[in-house]
Structure 1
Amino acid sequence: MEKDVVHHLEFIEKTIQSKKKRIRMEPYYCLNCGFEFKNRKKFKKPGKCPACRDGRIAPAIFWIES
């Protein structure tokens, strides 16, 4: 489930910090107007778009970068 992934990503982020690596992400974006959540610090999916108030948000893509 998506909420389980968020919990695991937080744990992974703490674990890889000692190895000089970090989690990078392609941001969430609104499927209606295209607004991108670029400066989001949380891994959790946003509820609604602040620009158009639509709830259809495309998932983010995460990867580990050294």
Structure 2
Amino acid sequence: MVLCDIDRPLTFAHDDGFLSMSLITPADAIALRSRAAAEQPQLLSGARGLGRLVRQLVVTLQEEHA
């Protein structure tokens, strides 16, 4: 997972089985909580913290869709 600024050009590569979900949050809200995230993209582990919460949200949405 990545936490990034949508106003900055980025390129992502993925395989055919790729699924995605976007959560758009105001930049100032991110900057208040993480200076590092405001300055450059941050990789998030899906095993802990915010990454784990997002991962569980995505898994739950996929299960509900099925």
* Fold in common (TM above 0.5): no
- Relative to total residues, which structure has the larger helix share, 1 or 2? 2
Please tell me the TM-score bracket, short chain as reference.
Answer: under 0.3
User: Could you tell me the TM-score, scaled by structure 2's length?
Assistant: 0.23
User: Could you tell me the TM-score, scaled by structure 1's length?
Assistant: 0.23
